[in-house]
Structure 1
Amino acid sequence: MTVETSALRPSNLALSRKEDFKAFAEGPRRTRPELLTGAQMAALGTQAKAEYDRLRREWHANLGPIKTPQLSELHQDLWDIIDSNLQDGDKAKGAIAVDAFPGLGKTTSVLAFAREFHHREIAEQREFTAQGYERLPVCRVGLTGNTGMKDLNRAILEFFGHPGRHRGTTAQLGQRALDCVLSCEVRLLALDDLHFLRWRNKNGVEVSNHLKWIANEFPVTLLMIGVGLAGKGLFSEGGSKGDAVLAQTGRRTTRLGMRPFTIEKEKGRQEWRQMLLALEQRVVLADKYPGMLADDLSDYLFARSTGHIGSLMTLINRGCQRAVRSGEEVLSRDLLDGVENDEASEEARRELEAALERGKLTSKPRTARKKAV
């Protein structure tokens, strides 16, 4: 069933289907709600106030992506590799593995890149191919822990909505997937959650071999996203027979990571402050003020997030939702103390918070500390 792009709502998209991914890539960016004062909000009627709060709920739940140094570094590397992968079809293209800890914004950053790549390809090559097929520069597939070769082929066909995705052998499904990729001139095949695979069992080796077949036969750049891929053997040499097979994929794969925010050095503190200043600009609360995050809550937010952008965005999002709902209309330590964050951040919080409070660490760069004094 074909769904018109304009009918798809951003909150109801599954990026493993082409219509949804196209809506994500081509849909308009969200518009920040107008920042009203407390008096202006009080003057709103009941219905208008409810609508304003709904717009703010949706806005605060979708504050990203923010162009952090980490995102910019990853995008530069991705452009380098993909632009260098313009070899003719008789040559295998280099693959990419974005391998980093959870909460560092891997998927968000890759999707932001995929959106930009989609726009560039459509602008340069137009919306339809020379044969009249819909041009789809990006195919995005999510994997599960039980994914085998047949499941992977079926997932690719599911993205295209191919009528033959529910029947056929592994080889037949693979050839149909290749036909779709060629017809729609896909140039980037993104496989998300690659860590869900159990690499050292039979399915893992099969999929690794299948990835090599895709790299050889599909005119695409293979972009794999996961956690701990090196530890799972994707880049391994030696060891068991299975490891040696998996290592062949590593020979063709460039590993890219994403780093957390750190505050041991001045450069890291400056990056953290810029991140908080960017977030301040996006928050839509009546009583927000300059320095609300970057000055008054800098150390507190670093302790609560441990420098992981995913944890920070979760905390700010939930804090804003509570500030709107409660009518406080500002982010403060008292309000955020009542907001729960992810378990990993809460577990790591105590020791870091103690070091910050004792003055052994600070998240504020020298210029901000001098200004405070």
Structure 2
Amino acid sequence: MTDQPAENEGPIVPFLRIGPPPDRTRWEGWQQWRRIRDTFIPAPRLSLRQYTDLSPRRRGLHDLHRTATHVNMRLQETPMSMRVSGLMRGRLQNNALKVEPGTRDGLMVNGGGFQGKTETACSAAAAFEDLWRAVQRQRLPEQPQDPGTRDVFVPVAYCRLPVRATPKALCKTILDVYGDPHPNNLDGLIRSVRDAVRDHETTALLIDDVTRLRLHRGDDQDTLDLIRELMDLNVTLVLIGVDIPHSGLLRGAYIDPRTKQWVFPDVKRGKSHNEAASTQTERRFDMVDLDPFGYTTPAGISAFLDHLAGIEEQLRLFRSFDGMLTTGEMPEYLFRRTHGIVGLLRRLVEDGCTEAITSGEERLTPELLARTSIRLGNLADLDPDAGEIPEIPQDIKPPQQPQKKSKRPRNTVFDDRGDRPAADG
């Protein structure tokens, strides 16, 4: 017999996702993710007494919901991410409102691996799209978009640079966002990309993992030239990569002393050249860094503690307490374990919470976290040579608990032991 929930128990698994996660490199997946982001409902806060009063089945489901809460913690803003998202939203809005054709200034989001560059950039782009779609609905009410009758409105397109980059591979990757077919030759591919960006009214093109390019290869040089040419499509180009200044991508570029922007000269003639390159228009980029937390200044320590407090508020452990992550030796220990890298901190807390629930400890301590390894999951789609996998601190021991001082033994000389005979009178 199927175990049916009690009538007053409500929905059993409202937190489970139906189907695979959205693929943001396809316009349908991007739209799905944009609509459901920040909609996850965390597990309710129950006291230990309320938890033990549940049926065994409900306790198991609540534990599953708690685990889902810990692995789906909301993206918290940090001083570093606020700087990135603020500049990006402003750049996207300003460029979208320009009416004259021409090259739009781009943006480069730089940082180390697992520092939240992709999520920060995608969240900023999604916020811009929310606003831009609202503006467009007022200007032109949305109508049904049947295949073959009207192009789908795709204001933001997100893709990842292939590990083995070539101009053809990049063009196919961009066309896959729209679901458009691939022509057989490079000229046809470039023409199709230009048509797709224009027909779908794309105003922002995000290219992730751009530092996978190895510029000692001719194909990679031509791919970089093609990326710079895309700026002629009246689209804001956002390049996301690890350690861009030392990757070679800025070769030939210089900083304009007036605007402080990186300026790229016109692209060379190569395999990726097309008629747009003849405009002799300089390509300008702002570079913004997404750094890890620091722990050497009062401002850095305060920002790290605020971030830990935001994490602590989202946890659903029965023995957690105010200051569990922000007091005592815990903040410094967490910083030493993660070097202030947001992605490593998130993974450590996720796995630590799983261990806390499984072991019944129901709280995070340095000793428990010392038994928790930081595992980065499936790294098959990451390129370690491009710095996409950070170095994980090893052999970080928890802080030593101060030993209790032994008490000085009491003087027992005058104790009445009661076992000696009375003295003779």
Structure 1 and Structure 2 fold alike (TM over 0.5): yes
Contact kept in structure 1, 2:266 and 2:282, CA below 8 Å: no
CA contact (8 A) 1:138 1:187 kept: yes
| In the alignment, structure 1 residue 252 sits paired with structure 2 residue 262 | no
Please state how far the C-alpha of 1:270 moved relative to its aligned partner.
0.9
| Contact 1:212–1:249 (8 Å) recurs in 2 | no
In the TM superposition, what whole-angstrom CA distance separates every residue of 1:280-300 from its partner, at most 9, and x where no partner exists? 111111221100001141111
Tell me which residue corresponds to 2:83.
Answer: 73
Where does 1:321-336 land on structure 2 (aligned, <5 Å)?
321-336=354-369
Report the alpha carbon displacement of residue 8 of structure 1 after superposing the two structures with TM.
Answer: 7.7
In 1, distance between residues paired with 2:314 and 2:71? 11
**2:156 is equivalent to residue 138 of structure 1:** yes
Counterpart for residue 125 of structure 2: 114
Cα pair distance change 1:250/1:59, threshold 3 Å:
farther
Instruction: Please name the residue that 1:215 is paired with.
Output: 231
> May I ask how many residue pairs the two structures share in their alignment?
342
Equivalent residues in 2 for 1:115-264, closer than 5 Å: 115-126=126-137, 128=142, 132-162=150-180, 164-165=181-182, 167-216=183-232, 218-237=233-252, 251-264=283-296
Q: In the alignment, does 2:39 pair up with 1:21?
A: no
Say if 1:95 and 1:215, in contact at 8 Å, map to a contact too.
yes
Distance 1:191 1:9, change over 3 A: farther
Q: Secondary structure at the match of 2:205?
A: strand
Specify the SS of the correspondent of 1:195: helix
Secondary structure at the aligned position of 1:344 is classed as coil
Kept in 2, the 8 Å contact 1:33–1:55? The answer is: yes
Distance in 1 of aligned mates of 2:204 and 2:142: 17
For normalisation by structure 2, the TM-score amounts to: 0.74
Separation (CA, whole Å) in 2 of partners of 1:238 and 1:255: 12
User: What is the one-letter code of the residue matched to 2:393?
Assistant: E
| Residues 143, 192 of structure 1: 8 Å contact kept | yes
Aligned partners of 2:162 and 2:169 also within 8 Å:
no
CA RMSD of aligned residues (A): 2.9
The Cα shift of 1:157 comes to 1.1
Cα distance, 1:45 vs structure 2:
1.8
Q: 1:102 to 1:249 in 2, by over 3 A?
A: farther
Give the C-alpha shift of residue 138 in structure 1: 0.9
Assess, with a 3 A threshold, how the Cα gap between structure 1 residues 198 and 94 changes in structure 2: closer, same or farther.
same
Asked whether the 8 Å contact 2:205–2:236 carries over to 1, the reply is yes
What secondary structure is seen at the aligned counterpart in 2 of 1:96?
Answer: strand
- Structure 2, unpaired ranges of 5+: 1-15, 255-263, 269-279, 376-389, 402-425
Q: Distance in 1 between matches of 2:127 and 2:253?
A: 38
Offset of residue 170 of structure 1: 1.6
Find 2:393's aligned residue among 342, 346, 355.
Answer: 346
Residue 205 of structure 1: how far off its partner (Å)? 1.2
Amino acid at match of 2:186: T
- Return the offset for 1:72: 0.8
Quote the offset at 1:348 in angstroms. Answer: 8.7
TM-score by length of 1: 0.83
Report the alpha carbon displacement of residue 89 of structure 1 after superposing the two structures with TM.
5.1
Secondary structure at the aligned position of 2:135 is classed as: helix
1 CA distance for matches of 2:119 and 2:234? 25
Cα distance in 2 between the residues matched to 1:100 and 1:10: 32
Deviation of 1:230 (Å): 1.9
Change (3 A) 1:12 1:235: same
What is the distance in 2 between the residues matched to 1:88 and 1:169?
Answer: 33
Cross-structure match for 1:273: 305
The Cα of 1:250 is off from its aligned counterpart by 8.9
- Residue identity in the other structure for 1:197: L
Change (3 A) 1:10 1:30: farther
Q: How far does the alpha carbon of each residue in 1:306-345 deviate from its partner, in whole angstroms, 9 at most, with x for none?
A: 1111111111111112212222221111211110025723
Q: Percent of aligned positions with the same letter in both sequences?
A: 23
Q: 1:316 aligns with which of 349, 352, 373?
A: 349
Instruction: Name which of structure 1's ranges 245-254 and 153-162 shifts more when overlaid on structure 2.
Output: 245-254
Higher helix share: 1
